[in-house]
Structure formats: C-alpha cells, structure tokens
Amino acid sequence: DAGVIQSPRHEVTEMGQEVTLRCKPISGHDYLFWYRQTMMRGLELLIYFNNNVPIDDSGMPEDRFSAKMPNASFSTLKIQPSEPRDSAVYFCASSAWGSNQPQHFGDGTRLSIL
C-alpha cells in the first residue's frame, strides 16, 4: 500500500520566496492534516480537511500561510512570502472516515528559509 506521499523532501530557499509543499493522502482517506514540527514548539496542527473542505485552520500561524485541497488526492500548503522562522519539518497525515481513526504520516518536507 502506498502511504502518504509528500514532496519535496527537502526545500532550501531564500527569505521572501514563495514555497509550495505538496501532499497525496492515502487513497480512500477522507481526512487530511498538515502539521509543523520544530524543536521549540513540537508538533503543531496547522489545518485539517474533511472531504476536501477545510474544517479547522486555527493553527495556521498567519496570512502568509494558505492551504488548499482541490480534490481527494492532492493538497498544497503555501507560504508567501517565506521567512526564516518558517524553517521546520512539515508533515502531512491522513485518516479514514469516522472519528478516532489513526492518522498516518508522510515522510515530511524539511524546509529551510535562508
């Protein structure tokens, strides 16, 4: 079974540039989650979708961050303009329909903003 697929695995870019992270959830999963992991703040939920609709975006840090899910098999997280403090590992996870279903994580994107 293919798991959650994220791209790119690593991204290094300069401050002010636009960054786009991509995620393909597990086929058949109805929920998609975007997380950010840093040493200082741990694992934080940024936003999650149910059936392609954003349900809770209260974790999105500011207007520079946006996320979309145009269809059931693809989501993007965009940062524009990027800042050095956005450097982190960004994980995408998905889960099946229903409450209390396990979330399965992708391998993450390690983002460095210079």
Partner 1 sequence: GENVEQHPSTLSVQEGDSAVIKCTYSDSASNYFPWYKQELGKRPQLIIDIRSNVGEKKDQRIAVTLNKTAKHFSLHITETQPEDSAVYFCAASLGATNKLIFGTGTLLAVQP
Q: State the residues that interact with partner 1 by CB under 8 A.
A: 31, 42-45, 48, 50, 56, 91, 95, 99-108
Task: State the Cα–Cα distance between residues 89 and 110, nearest whole angstrom.
Answer: 4
Taking the complex as a whole, how short is the minimal distance between the CB of residue 108 and partner 1, in angstroms? 6
What's the min distance (Å) between Cβ of 42 and partner 1?
Answer: 5
| Backbone φ, ψ for residue 86 (5° rounding) | -85, -5
Closer by beta carbon to partner 1, 16 or else 89: 89
Number of other residues whose CB lies within 10 A of the CB of residue 52: 15
Nearer to partner 1, 82 or 95 (CB): 95
| Cβ distance to partner 1 smaller for residue 17 or 38 | 38
CB of 81 to partner 1, least distance (A): 28
User: Which of residues 40 and 70 has its CB atom nearest to partner 1 in the complex?
Assistant: 40
Task: Identify whether 61 is preceded by a cis peptide bond (ω within 30 of 0).
Answer: no
Which is nearest to 79 in space by CA: 15, 7, 35, 33? 15
CA 81 to chain centre: 17
